[in-house]
Amino acid sequence: MINKRNALLFLSTITFLLLTWYLGFKIERSQFFYLITHYTFFFLLYLAVYHYSSDKKTILWYTGVGISLRFLLIFAFPNLSDDVYRFIWDGRLIANGINPFDHLPTYYIEKGVNIPGITSTLYEQLNSPNYFTIYPPVNQFIFATAAYLTPNTITGSSIIMKSFLFLMEVGSLYLIFQLLKYFQLPLKNILLYALNPLIIFEIMGNIHFEGAMIFFLLLSVWLIAVRQRLVGSAVAMALAIASKLLPLIFLPFFILRLAKKPIVPTTNLPILHWFQRIDWARNLLFFGTLGLSLLLLFLPLFSGSFLANFGASLNLYFQKFEFNGSISYLLRWIGYLDKGYNVIQYIGPRLSILAFLSILYLMFREQNPNWNNLFKQLLFAICAYLFLSMTVHPWYVALPIVCCLFTSFRFPILWSGLIFLTYINYNYVVYQENLWMVAIEYILIGIFVVYEMKTLDD
Indicate the burial class of 138 (C-beta count within 10 angstroms; 0-12, 13-18, 19 or more).
Answer: buried
Mean pLDDT of 441-454: 94
User: Measuring CA to CA, how many Å separate 404 from each of 2, 53, 202, 214, 377?
Assistant: 36, 18, 18, 13, 10
444 phi, psi to nearest 5 deg: -65, -40
Round to whole Å and give the CA distance between 371 and 260. Answer: 12
DSSP H helices in 365-458: 374-387, 398-404, 411-418, 435-455
Residues in the chain: 458
Using only C-alpha atoms, the chain has a radius of gyration, in whole angstroms, of 22
Round to whole Å and give the CA distance between 78 and 162. Answer: 10
The model's pLDDT over 73-92, given as tens digits with 9 standing for 90+, comes to: 999 999 999 999 999 999 99
CB 422 within 8 A of CB 80: no
The closest of 216, 211, 243 to 139, measured between CA atoms, is: 243
Angle of helix 435-455 relative to helix 411-418, nearest 10 degrees, comes to 170
The model's pLDDT over 297-336, given as tens digits with 9 standing for 90+, comes to: 999 888 767 776 676 666 666 666 788 888 888 888 888 7
Mean pLDDT of 403-408: 96
* First-to-final CA distance of the chain: 44
Q: Please give the pLDDT value at position 265.
A: 61
At residue 32 the predicted structure's pLDDT band, cuts being 50, 70 and 90, is very high
3-state secondary structure of 236: helix
Centre a 10 Å sphere on the Cβ of residue 159 and count the other Cβ atoms it contains.
Answer: 18
Question: 100-104, 156-160, 397-401: which has the minimum mean pLDDT?
Answer: 100-104
CB 412 within 8 A of CB 404: yes
Residues whose CB falls within 8 Å of the CB of residue 64, separated by 6 or more in sequence, listed in order? none
Mean pLDDT of the chain: 91
**Maximal CA-CA distance, the chain:** 72
Round to whole Å and give the CA distance between 64 and 262. Answer: 37
Round to whole Å and give the CA distance between 329 and 335. Answer: 10
331 phi, psi to nearest 5 deg: -65, -35
Q: Please give the pLDDT value at position 175.
A: 98
The model's pLDDT over 40-69, given as tens digits with 9 standing for 90+, comes to: 999 999 999 999 998 999 999 999 999 999
Mean pLDDT of 395-408: 97
CB 144 within 8 A of CB 94: yes
Round to whole Å and give the CA distance between 439 and 274. Answer: 40
391, β-bridge pairs: 323
- The tally of CA atoms less than 13 A away on the side-chain side of residue 355 is 24
